[in-house]
Structure 1
Amino acid sequence: MQTLSNKEYKNEFVQAFPGDDSGNVKPRQTPGVLYSKALPTPVKKPELLAWSDELAQELGIEKPTDQKDIDVLGGNHVAPSMYPYAACYAGHQFGNWAGQLGDGRAITLGEWEAPDGKSWELQLKGAGLTPYSRRADGRAVLRSSVREYLMSEAMHYLGVPTTRALSLVSTGDQIIRDMFYNGNPAYEPGAIVMRVAPSFLRFGSFEMPAARKETENLQQLVNWTIDRYYPHITGENRILDWFKEVLERTAHLMVEWMRVGFVHGVMNTDNMSILGLTIDYGPYSFLDDYDPDFTPNTTDLPGRRYAFGKQANIAYWNLGCLASAIAPLLPGTQELVAVLETYEEVFYRKYYAMMAGKLGLDAPTEADQDLIRRFSETMATLNLDMTIFFQLLMELPEDVQEQQTVVGHFQPSFYRELETGERELLHTLIKDYQLRRKANSMAQEEAVQKMRENNPRFILRNYLLHQAIEELEKGQNTLFLKLQAALKDPYSSQHDEFFAKRPDWASQKAGCSMLSCSS
């Protein structure tokens, strides 16, 4: 185990590409470079609020015991071998080209080599101004930082590909934020998250040099990315093969989001990881009542571009943007388009296999696809709580037949009383499902175990996060610690105090139902 302040860091990204070494953090365009040096801006009083012991163990990082290491987490100390920088990238935001974006409040300190030889980028989010902060202050508030810290780790334990979070520190500073962009700014406590990933490269990282016609930089970035993160891809068609694997990983990520009911909220191309990870946790949410049209992002209204049921299609659109960016490196676009057009088949193959897992079915047939669609439609029509419904489905006795008994069994997942026709709809679906389960090639116990592995019992609901944040702002961490423990064991019943529907009071409360991009 090594301390954060004494480690010899690697800086291979910085050494590989052209950058702006001036250290000037004045907001500006930075053509010709892929990063700009940006030292963290010191904060008033960094204090460690949370630490991921499991991640630290994997990375070989010793938990901070003195102020010098805590100062690293708060941006007040930079180790001699670090080269702090903000990455330059572009993106399409809400379907429109936004041009240069970049790390506006994130600063990568360096690359940490773990005991197993793998390298991890250590990045501070909320560490101060960079050349890409535009009109913002480069800071993060406790509210958004708690959400990123807890959800990064929650997704990891759910088995969803994600960036990680190592630490959460309070800064002792007050930050002004207009939470809903409605002209009501207020001061909030500041905080910084140290987030960790093999790479924070995004689709927008490739869009930037492509848009500027910096073909040499684009070619170098693609080659470096393949060599470093896709070393198994070789040969003359490796760019196409790489794009195909990025497509596969992205489709897999969308399916995993749907499996656990996660809605990202801001699927801009600058928020799409080139490694197929969940990246940039802002106005996200898990589904409470199942609604394909739900978006947690106030900025996404009224179009709901990034609603739960549209995420797979948006991923395809974003992949199209990535394809356009790398197209100049290929002799033609026909083969690239052909790869892109495989997305629908790849996604649905993965999706139906995932749903079969949630339903405890063996290899899904075409008939099963219709049954799976009916489950989605019924949950949406009846506004059922997704997480609780699948848990109750797993616990449904095989011999239950009467409508009253079936409806009564699923009552805990209802947000309202069902009408007569809705009760019949649910009853018919469950009867057909039970018939299909009897045709399974696997035993009942095996089917239930498959369901148990695919259906989380604990999810970080927004109202729980909101309550934990309110407590932390008052100097209390009881709920925060409970949630931190529960998220590490989401498939068991060990934390059933949280196995409950969203309460009525939270359905419209700010921070519980919807959030803004500033969240």
Structure 2
Amino acid sequence: MNIERIRQPFLKKFPGDFSNNPIQRSTPKVLFATIKPVGFDKPQLIAFNEALSEEIGLGKFEDKDLHFLVGSQLPDNIQTYATAYAGHQFGNWAGQLGDGRAILAGEITNTTGKKTEIQWKGAGATPYSRRADGRAVLRSSVREYLMSEAMHHLGVPTTRALSLAFTGEDVIRDIMYNGNPQYEKGAVVIRTAESFLRFGHFELMFAQGEHKLLQNLLDFTIENYFPEIVSSDQEKYKDFFENVCTRTADLMVEWFRVGFVHGVMNTDNMSILGLTIDYGPYSMMDEYNLNFTPNTTDLPGKRYAFGKQGQIAHWNLWQLANALQPIIKDQKFLENTLSNFGIYFWEAHDKMLCKKFGFDGLKKEDEEFFAYWQGLMQELELDHTLFFNQLEKITPKTDLKEHFSGVAYTVLNKEKLGKLGEFIELYRSRLHSNSISTEESLELMKKTNPKFILRNYLLYECIEEISNGKTEMLIKLTQALENPYQEQFPEFSMKRPSNYNDIAGCSTLSCSS
């Protein structure tokens, strides 16, 4: 790989702490602290994303690159660092946070001029580790590696994963925070993004009263990541905030489209570029449930439940607006922009649902249809992805019980089948009003509804296999996630088996890594 081409423009732009000290501490008036990865002597490669490496300009993997993948034996030109940010966690102000187990190598530019940041996750403690060790375990690393790539191929804005490797050491973790810590295999994942800047970076500068540094960060962000903004002075900051609101709303709509639940939408986990970032206690939706959260830490309030994600994004944007107010200085504008968020989000959401159902466009009566559908999905406990797959195949002669029983997590008795039949008739009536052909409607559905999603039980099985030295399922899942709109592996296109209903790592997860 061409790791010698990695540069650190961020370090040249902003004040930082160059002490290379991993001990937890406050770092006021700086945006980063230099820190060296801990270094691992016996790494072992699990997976490498050759296509991504070529795309971002790193080139092909060679055996000598293995140590770099875990942050060891770095070239002299690389000055590694972690960034400081703040945030609201579960609705409460948490103060200074930062890259607790993420260390940035820097930025690389490919032949087309596209810039990509490269970051290790699990390579050691930083000043922002909050009494933790900065390591990561195999299960969390596999989940991030596979899921970020799955989201990319689904067409959802996301960070991506370059590599996955064992560190050669064991790490102790209490997976369910119940007083039963155990040793697990350590791992490091390299993730990439155009930028890892978060809402929290701006919140930190505001909280510290560093308004000039806040403005410099805004200017840097606009100049490097928002080329569509060509205005100047106050207008460019307003255009920036409107753009962030739109990108965030669009991301939420994409999460709803594929049935993704993030699990921990704190403001420090919100990308300023509208990317899916920080794959922790996430889940793809099995049975449709607006009140589902996979995160045990989010119980009992379920602040970050599936159906609340648009609402929480809106709340998080309010916190960002508050942080930017000293620069934008137009409270009325900020309030109006935030008020328009809900209007834009719900219209985009309903237009997305139209595509999932094969409708030609959004009609006034569709809002009532969608609400009826949501209620039915929850009452019948139908699988979100498989329901639409079966809906694509339905005909006037279809036996509803035979056709939908395999996608229901409850028994479809006579009463429930009756309700399902009534819905199907309503759906057919709505299709009849389409201005597009049946073939065009079906094609729209196939482009919008994935055949494969990376379910937690599949990840659980994959992690178990890798732990036992096998990679067959990892390879197979990688092939499946690269073509999610094709029925390539029928054995993966099935509802969650009942024996996984109460297994930690399948139905329930924690924030523990």
TM-score w.r.t. the length of structure 2 is: 0.98
The one of 17, 23, 26 aligned to 1:26:
23
Work out whether 1:453 is the aligned partner of 2:447: yes
String of CA shifts for 1:317-336, please: whole Å, max 9, x gaps: 00000000001112331111
Residues of 2 paired with 1:114 and 1:266: CA distance?
33
In 2, distance between residues paired with 1:330 and 1:353?
Answer: 32
Helix, strand or coil at the partner of 1:226: helix
- Counterpart of 1:84 in structure 2 is 80
Letter in 1 for 2:130: R
Please point out which of 217, 223, 230 is paired with 2:226.
230
8 Å CA contact 2:383–2:408 kept in 1: the answer is yes
Partner of 2:108 in structure 1? 112
Which of residues 389, 392, 415 is equivalent to 2:390?
392
SS state of the match for residue 181, structure 1? Answer: coil
Q: Which residue of 2 aligns with 1:94?
A: 90
Per the alignment, residue 206 of structure 2 pairs with 210
Report the equivalent of 1:357.
355
Alignment of 1:217-296 (within 5 A): 217-233=213-229, 234-236=231-233, 237-296=235-294
* Cα separation, 1, equivalents of 2:349 and 2:63: 48
Any idea what SS the aligned residue of 2:454 has?
Answer: coil
What is the deviation of 1:18? 0.6
Which residue among 121, 140, 146 is the counterpart of 2:142? 146
Shift in Å at residue 62 of structure 1? 2.6
- Which of 336, 346, 362 is matched with 1:338 structurally? 336
Q: Is the 8 A contact 1:51 1:63 kept in 2?
A: no
Note if contact 2:54-2:60 (Cα within 8 Å) is conserved in structure 1: no
Residue-by-residue CA offset, 1:165-187 (whole Å, 9 max, x unaligned): 00001110000001011110000
How far did 1:281 drift? 0.2
Query: 1:378-401: CA deviations, max 9, x gaps?
Result: 11111101111000001111x248
Matching residue of 2:46: 49
State the shift of 1:28 in Å.
0.3
What is residue 193 of structure 1 aligned with on the other side? 189
Q: Any unmatched runs of 5+ in structure 1?
A: none
Do residues 516 (structure 1) and 510 (structure 2) align? Answer: yes
Q: Secondary structure at the match of 1:175?
A: strand
Q: Comparing 282-291 with 40-49, which one deviates more in the overlay? A: 40-49
Deviations 1:2-27 (A, max 9, x none): x244x222211111111101111110
In structure 1, distance between residues paired with 2:53 and 2:466: 23
State the distance in 1 between where 2:262 and 2:408 align. 24
Give the TM-score, by structure 1 length.
0.97
What's the CA shift for 1:421?
3.0
Match of 1:478 among 469, 472, 475: 472
Q: Is the 8 A contact 1:407 1:426 kept in 2?
A: no
The answer on whether the counterparts of 2:16 and 2:32 sit within 8 Å (CA) in structure 1 is yes
Matching of residue 440 in structure 1 with residue 434 in structure 2: yes
Superposed, 1:58-69 pairs within 5 Å as 58-67=55-64, 69=65
Q: Counterpart of 1:501 in 2: which secondary structure? A: coil
Q: Is residue 4–residue 72 contact of structure 1 (8 Å, CA) maintained in 2?
A: no
Partners of 1:142 and 1:170 within 8 A in 2? yes
Q: Return the letter of the residue paired with 1:71.
A: H
2:431 aligned partner, one-letter code = R
The amino acid of 1:494's aligned partner reads Q
- Provide the aligned C-alpha RMSD in A: 1.1
Confirm or deny that 1:430 pairs with 2:421.
no
Shift of the alpha carbon at 1:349?
1.3
Q: Identify which range, 49-58 or 285-294, moves more after superposition.
A: 49-58
More displaced, 293-302 or 413-422? 413-422
Secondary structure of 1:341's aligned partner: helix
- Rounded Cα–Cα distance in structure 2 between residues aligned with 1:443 and 1:107: 52
Cα distance, 1:446 vs. partner? 0.7
Structure 1 residue 137 corresponds to structure 2 residue 141? no
Quote how far apart the aligned CAs of 1:48 are: 1.3
In structure 1, the partner of 2:12 is 15
Counterpart in the other structure of 1:327: 325
Contact 1:163 1:279 in 2 (8 A): yes
How far has the Cα of 1:499 moved from its partner? 1.0
| Aligned: 1:347 with 2:345 | yes
In structure 2, what is the Cα distance between the partners aligned to 1:471 and 1:81? 38
User: In percent, how many aligned pairs have the same letter?
Assistant: 51
Indicate conservation of the 8 Å contact 1:91/1:207, yes or no: yes
Mark the CA change 1:44 to 1:185 in structure 2 (over 3 Å): closer, same or farther: farther
Is the 1:44–1:173 contact (alpha carbons within 8 Å) kept by the matching residues of 2? no
> d(CA) in 2 for partners of 1:451 and 1:257?
17
Count residues in correspondence.
Answer: 511
Q: Residues of 1 paired with 2:97 and 2:294: CA distance?
A: 23
